[in-house]
Structure 1
Amino acid sequence: MSEAPNLRERLQDPRILVAMGVHDGLTARIAQQLGFEAFYHGGYAAAAHHHGLPDIGMVGLEEMVESVRRVTNVSTTPVIVDCDTAYGAIPGVKRTVHEMERAGAGAIQIEDQVFPKKCGHMEGKQVIAVDEMVLKIRAAVATRHDPSMLIIARTDALQPLGLDEAIDRCNAYAEAGADLAFVDAPGSREQLAEIARRVDVPSVANMSETGKTPALTADELQEMGYRVVIFPATQTWVFARAYEEVCRELLRTGTTAGYADRFASFDDVNALLGLEELQRVE
């Protein structure tokens, strides 16, 4: 596999970077084959697919590191990794950066929620003090060994404290050394535009299709000034609906033949998984 540009290099390109959600080796292989320039390894998808759990802080660092390795072992595409609250205070931040670098992360995202955190599109979120999060960002920057790895600071202050506070927090985190900033769960096009305009570092937009934020195209977000757009759990929404439908069909008819036109073939999946290359090595 040829090496892809790292994320810091890619962001020199003025085109917005579209990061597709992946959570395992299969989704990584599919997304890389189709040409995505970046992946987003989200906590929601990892908790749902690997553990059958909601995104409420129940999945820890070691589980996320192992999940990231399943992606980086089969792909050279740069991966943005959702690291929740960095799994603790300053020692947790340092260990998170160290372990995610070893796992091959191209960027790590740390948020300012109170632990146990919640998915950014859930109600009832709380955030830590700005100064506490600033220290976390400084620790992440200081611990980083590979200068090409990006530090993304996410704030969840919009819901409990308002837009101005969320933007002020992003700028404080940028001053502390964050490479990109991310206000989660804006509720309108106007909020999205104001965030991109007022935040001092490149901004990340989250297109979580079933969440609170309106769906905009990558071109629309680029025009606003966003540099990265993530689709963190697209595969989760698609899989949950498609798998439920085929299960219902099997229970109703005793066969999955009615879905035959939706199945990837045995040979196509084996090719996707690299079977021919492995057999050639043997």
Structure 2
Amino acid sequence: MTDRPSLRERLEDPSIVVAMGVHDGLTARIAQRAGFDAFYHGGYAVAAHHHGLPDIGVVGLAEMVQSVQRVTSVSTTPLIVDCDTAYGAIPGVKRTTLEMERAGAAAIQIEDQIFPKKCGHMEGKEVIPRDEMVLKIRAAVATRRDPSMLVIARTDALQPLGLDEAIDRCNDYAEAGADLVFVDAPGSRDQLAEIARRVDAPSVANMSETGRTPAMTADELQELGYRIVIFPSTQTWVIARAYEEVCRELLEHGTTAGFADRFMPFDEVNELLGIQELERVV
């Protein structure tokens, strides 16, 4: 695998970074072959694919680190890692920062929800006091050893406290040292535009296709001023529906032949998985 620019270096380019969701080695290999500049390792996808559970704070730090290692061991593409609430108060933030840095994360994302958290597009979210999150961001920034690793601060204050509070939090988190900030689950294009206009820091947009935020293209978001757009669970929606359909096909017809044109061939999968490199003697 060839080295790629760090995410920090990539952000020096004015074009928006499109970060595709990956949750394991296979999705990482596929997305890297496709040519994305960055990946997003989301808590929703990890909970769903690895554990068959919803994203309600039931997956811990050790499980997330192990999942990150599965991706970084087969890919050189910069990986943005969803670290939820950083799994605790200040000691948890410090440990999370160091563990994710060791696992190869290019960026860690920390959110200001209370624990146990919920997926940002679910109802009933609550957030910790703003000052408490500021301390978390300061701790993460002070703890990281690799200056190229980015700290992304996400706020979930929009739903419970309103847009003005969410924007004010982002500006405070940036002042505390966050490299990028992120208001999750805006409900309209107008809100996306206002966030980009009023937040005084590089911003992240979340295009979760089945969530609350209306779909916009990467070019449209770049025009508004966003620096990164993540597609955190795209693979989850696609895989869930496709696998459901092939299961029904097999039960109904006793064969998967109707899906033959949608299968990646055996040899191509093996090539994708790196069989030549593993079997090479020297």
The superposition leaves residues 241-270 of structure 1 with CA deviations (integer Å, 9 ceiling, x where unpaired) of 000000000000111011101000000000
Query: What are the residue-to-residue correspondences of 1:1-282 with 2, within 5 Å?
Result: 1-281=1-281
Q: Which runs of 4+ in 1 moved over 4 A?
A: none
State the SS of the aligned residue for 1:200.
coil
Q: RMSD of the alignment, in Å?
A: 0.6
Q: What's the TM-score, normalizing by structure 1? A: 0.99
Instruction: Specify the code of the residue in structure 2 equivalent to 1:132.
Output: E
Rounded to whole Å, the distance in 1 between the matches of 2:83 and 2:277 is 33
The superposition leaves residues 9-31 of structure 1 with CA deviations (integer Å, 9 ceiling, x where unpaired) of 11000000000000000000000
Instruction: Specify the code of the residue in structure 2 equivalent to 1:258.
Output: G
The superposition leaves residues 70-119 of structure 1 with CA deviations (integer Å, 9 ceiling, x where unpaired) of 00000000000000000000000000000000000000000000000000
Q: What's the TM-score, normalizing by structure 2? A: 0.99
- Please state how far the C-alpha of 1:65 moved relative to its aligned partner: 0.1
State the SS of the aligned residue for 1:39.
strand
- Please state how far the C-alpha of 1:281 moved relative to its aligned partner: 2.9
The superposition leaves residues 25-71 of structure 1 with CA deviations (integer Å, 9 ceiling, x where unpaired) of 00000000010010000000000000000000000000000000000
State the SS of the aligned residue for 2:187.
coil
- Please state how far the C-alpha of 1:276 moved relative to its aligned partner: 1.2
Rounded to whole Å, the distance in 2 between the matches of 1:125 and 1:219 is 30
State the SS of the aligned residue for 2:215.
coil
The superposition leaves residues 185-236 of structure 1 with CA deviations (integer Å, 9 ceiling, x where unpaired) of 0000000000011111100000000000000000000000000000000000
Rounded to whole Å, the distance in 2 between the matches of 1:259 and 1:20 is 25
Instruction: Specify the code of the residue in structure 1 equivalent to 2:82.
Output: D
Question: Which runs of 5 or more structure 1 residues have no equivalent in the other structure?
Answer: none
Rounded to whole Å, the distance in 2 between the matches of 1:44 and 1:277 is 32
State the SS of the aligned residue for 1:281.
coil
- Please state how far the C-alpha of 1:278 moved relative to its aligned partner: 1.2
Rounded to whole Å, the distance in 1 between the matches of 2:276 and 2:67 is 25
Question: Which runs of 5 or more structure 2 residues have no equivalent in the other structure?
Answer: none
Instruction: Specify the code of the residue in structure 2 equivalent to 1:137.
Output: I
State the SS of the aligned residue for 2:280.
helix
The superposition leaves residues 146-179 of structure 1 with CA deviations (integer Å, 9 ceiling, x where unpaired) of 0000000000000000000000000000000000
State the SS of the aligned residue for 1:122.
coil
Rounded to whole Å, the distance in 2 between the matches of 1:148 and 1:278 is 30
- Please state how far the C-alpha of 1:279 moved relative to its aligned partner: 1.2
Instruction: Specify the code of the residue in structure 1 equivalent to 2:225.
Output: G
Rounded to whole Å, the distance in 2 between the matches of 1:253 and 1:2 is 45
Instruction: Specify the code of the residue in structure 2 equivalent to 1:81.
Output: V
Instruction: Specify the code of the residue in structure 1 equivalent to 2:113.
Output: Q
Rounded to whole Å, the distance in 2 between the matches of 1:188 and 1:106 is 29
